[in-house]
Chain A
Amino acid sequence: MLNFSIGSLFFAVLLFITPIVLRIGKKYRTGLFLIINIAVFLLCLKSLPALLIGALWILVPYFMALLLQRAAEETAGVLPRILRNSFYLLMVAVFAYLMHYEWIPLFKILPYSNAVKLLGLSYFLFREIDFTMQYGYLKEVKVRITLVDYLNYILNFYTVMAGPILRYEEFVTDFYDETKPEMSGDMILHDFHRILFGYLKVYVISAILSVWAGYWFQRLSTGAGFFSLLAEFILFAFFNSFYIYFNFSGYCDVVAGGAHLSGMTLRENFDQPYFAVSLVEFWNRHHITLSEWIRDYIYSPVIKVLISGAFRKKIFAGQCVALFITFLIAGIWHGTNFNYVVYGLLQGLGIVISTLRTSHMKKKLGKKGFKEFQAKKWVRILENCATWAYISASFSFVGYDVCGVILRGFDV
């Protein structure tokens, strides 16, 4: 119903009211934070059915975690595992349905309304999977688990839109951390600066870049001639990749600064990604919390299954397959239309090629020789440029219908 983005008046008001409320009512801050979070959640619902779906989507995993844990403790054999796996499968299926992926034919037949789509749907999923997967561990190390804390973790309005993806343990430990220094004037100024600088990145820098990217995309989709098309594509991809960086990292600055004013620390999501010298390094510096989530919950389980099974004697091939699958899934997740499938394929392909190259170079130069080779300045610059060019080219499928342009090109 309500428009909730960092640019909305609603969010700006919350940004300043929340720290005051939470700090004045320090004794009740858990409850106060929950009230704010639930209010935001309710105001963002698009319809009444969405309320029911949202409530189920959030509450079921909490109680399932308890149930699965009990099943694992009390029943021996494969039954708990079957229960567990079918629960995750069901989660993913419901998620895919709610996202309404355009390229899955089944969803064209099933009834669907946009009104059931929740704000931050996939970020809910990430957090819920983290909580349910770690539940046993959390109990073991005696992390505080209550429904209220769980709801604050899932609904945290600072991160509900687009992350960063915290872990339950991390969120609760930080929320109840009493060793934090008192807020000083310097810190307040620092946080204000972080918020405003974030807004500047989003509404000035990325806004301008977006106009330029849009301009060159327009020229690209109406232009002709191979070389002018190529030049237009390069310019478009160039501006678009920087637009993505400034837009997303600006958003992260705003919410991190805001949360810090309220006494919460959000993990850093960006570390100068465009200085990366390889695709793997890029993903370790861009949207870091997502990369780590994917590493822990997709890459590791997939590669474990592969190298203890079909790829037992072919570990390198197993690694390539796992990387490809991981990046394909990560790409597909980013959006609902076919462009994102292409984006995922490109990411997967790129990562496999770069892994093959690294292993080939290591064989040729030796481990030490390769390290020395990579440390050379010109090599670093070249690898940085190549990484950046590849990322920009694949990012061009994010937000723009580049597939459509290519298809139209073939028609002519």
Chain B
Amino acid sequence: MMRLFDRLPVPVRLLWLSLELAIVLFAIFMGTKTTILYQGF
């Protein structure tokens, strides 16, 4: 995934990033609850 991303042309990379950002923000604002493992140890 990481390697494929680095080889794409810049506009495609930017589009990819905005898509990722949208999904992540959507998930967080939808209130997905997941704790970070190992935290607090």
Taking beta carbons and an 8 Å cutoff, which residues of A are in contact with B? Answer: 5-7, 99, 117, 119-123, 161-163, 185-186, 189-190, 192-194, 196-197, 199-200, 202-204, 206-207, 210, 244, 247-248, 251, 333-335, 398-399
Q: Determine the chain B residues whose CB is within 8 A of the CB of A119 once the complex forms.
A: 39-40
Question: Nearest CB to that of B28 among chain A residues?
Answer: A203
Question: Nearest CB to that of A399 among chain B residues?
Answer: B37
> Which residue of B17, B27, B33, B35 contacts A193 across the interface (Cβ within 8 Å)?
B17
- How large, as a class, is the contact surface on chain B? 20 to 34
Top 8 closest pairs, chain A to chain B, by CB: A196-B20, A162-B38, A207-B32, A207-B34, A199-B24, A203-B27, A122-B41, A204-B27
Q: Could you mark each residue 3-27 of chain B with 1 if its beta carbon is under 8 Å from any beta carbon of chain A, else 0?
A: 0011000100110110011011001
Question: Nearest CB to that of A118 among chain B residues?
Answer: B40
Majority SS at the chain A contact face: helix
State A199–B22 Cα separation when bound (angstroms): 11
Q: Determine the chain B residues whose CB is within 8 A of the CB of A335 once the complex forms.
A: 41
**If the complex has contacts A161-B39, A200-B23, A203-B24, are A192 and B17 also in contact, measured as CB distance less than 8 A?**
yes
Question: Nearest CB to that of A287 among chain B residues?
Answer: B38
State A335–B35 Cα separation when bound (angstroms): 15
Q: Give, as a whole number of angstroms, the nearest-CB distance from A212 to chain B.
A: 12
State A274–B7 Cα separation when bound (angstroms): 26
Q: Determine the chain A residues whose CB is within 8 A of the CB of B5 once the complex forms.
A: 190, 193
**A-B contact sample (13 more), CB < 8 A, given A162-B39, A204-B32, A210-B34:** A7-B28, A7-B36, A122-B41, A161-B36, A161-B38, A163-B38, A193-B5, A193-B13, A193-B17, A196-B21, A197-B1, A197-B20, A200-B20
Q: Give, as a whole number of angstroms, the nearest-CB distance from A121 to chain B.
A: 7
Q: Determine the chain B residues whose CB is within 8 A of the CB of A248 once the complex forms.
A: 37-38
**If the complex has contacts A5-B36, A193-B5, are A334 and B41 also in contact, measured as CB distance less than 8 A?**
yes
Q: Is the CB of B41 within 8 A of A193?
A: no
Q: Give, as a whole number of angstroms, the nearest-CB distance from A101 to chain B.
A: 11
